Structure 1
Amino acid sequence: MNAYRAKPLSFPWPPVLYGAAALAALFFNHFFPIPVANGPGWFAWLVGGALIFAAISIDLWAVKTLLDRRTAILPTRCATCLVTCGPFRFTRNPIYLGYTLLMVGIGLVTANPWFFIAAITAVALTTLFVIRNEEQHLLSRFGFEFERYCRHTTRWI
């Protein structure tokens, strides 16, 4: 099968990676808690809540943008068009950015530092094993147009 018809991924790894990272944060906090001075204060709750709200908003905006363009949302499907509008104007991976902000927000609200470590780990694994495959797929499908998009839009923020 040629690269043009190949799917970017054979399994939807990002939700699994971030879900496993969240479970690992809960597990490690239970068995190896990191002490936090005075627990979560009102400021941590406020910032964490804002991050959670922003994460959900970014994810919904990205999904709506993909649906409006009638292209694949799941990373196991081939893209039918290159989406460069909506949240994709600011980042090439708004859904994964939303997952990461959600992890950080939950970490702030629950005063669980393991969520920050889990978020960093999930970002690294997603970049290595998911985003690179997706970008290779988009490059094979859209060529120069995707290269130009990459020059003007960052991968994460």
Structure 2
Amino acid sequence: MNAYRSKSLSFPWPPLLYSVAVIIALWLQRYYPLSLPLFWSIVAWVIGATLVTFAVTLNVWAVKTLVESRTTVLTQRCSAYLVTTGPFRFTRNPTYLGYTLLTAGLGLLIGNLWFVAMAAAAAALTTLLVIRCEEMHLLSRFGCEFEFYCKRTRRWV
């Protein structure tokens, strides 16, 4: 039996990766502060608020779509169905995109630009540690259907 067929991951990496990214950003800001002039900090706050709102909406929509499709939301469980509706029409990983936008947006809201850098680092690690394994799982479970989905839908945006 294919090792990827039963489940994609044995550990829920994304919450840990993004939590560590936030902790590192807070530490970096304490010892190597990055600040913006007043005008740009106001612009950053508006952009951050927009990103946070969009990220939360995207994550709620993604979870709602998965629940309605009667498949798992958890990465360490076996997928019952290949979900290609809702936000999954636009990105194959809306929850991870939401985590990334939320991390960057929170950084802009509080004026900590390290959050933006750490959001990018967490996204890169998520791709390497999580998404590639999930894609192998989905490919082994759904075969050509998943390949066609990958051809028409981007991994991130």
TM-score range, shorter chain: over 0.9
Task: Give structure 2 stretches of 5+ with no counterpart.
Answer: none
Inter-CA distance 116–142: structure 2 relative to 1 (3 Å threshold)? same
Post-superposition CA distance 1:77-117 (Å, at most 9, x none): 00000000000000000000000110111111111110011
> Equivalences for 1:17-56 in 2 at 5 Å?
17-38=17-38, 41-56=41-56
| 1:144 partner letter | C
Identical residues among aligned pairs (%) = 55
Residue number in structure 2 paired with 1:61: 61
Aligned partners of 1:62 and 1:95 also within 8 Å: yes
Tell me, in whole angstroms, the C-alpha distance in 1 between the residues paired with 2:148 and 2:133: 18
Aligned partners of 2:2 and 2:140 also within 8 Å: no
| 2:145 partner letter | E
Tell me, in whole angstroms, the C-alpha distance in 2 between the residues paired with 1:60 and 1:18: 17
Residue number in structure 1 paired with 2:116: 116
Where do 4+ consecutive residues of structure 1 move more than 6 Å?
A: none
Aligned partners of 1:44 and 1:108 also within 8 Å: yes
Aligned partners of 1:58 and 1:95 also within 8 Å: yes
Give the alignment's Cα RMSD to 1 decimal.
1.4
Tell me, in whole angstroms, the C-alpha distance in 1 between the residues paired with 2:4 and 2:26: 40
Q: CA deviation at 1:40?
A: 5.8
Aligned partners of 2:35 and 2:111 also within 8 Å: no
Task: Give structure 1 stretches of 5+ with no counterpart.
Answer: none
TM-score relative to the length of structure 2: 0.95
Post-superposition CA distance 1:28-82 (Å, at most 9, x none): 1112212322376332222111110000000000000000001010100000000
Count of residue pairs brought into register by the alignment = 157
Post-superposition CA distance 1:119-139 (Å, at most 9, x none): 110011000110000000000
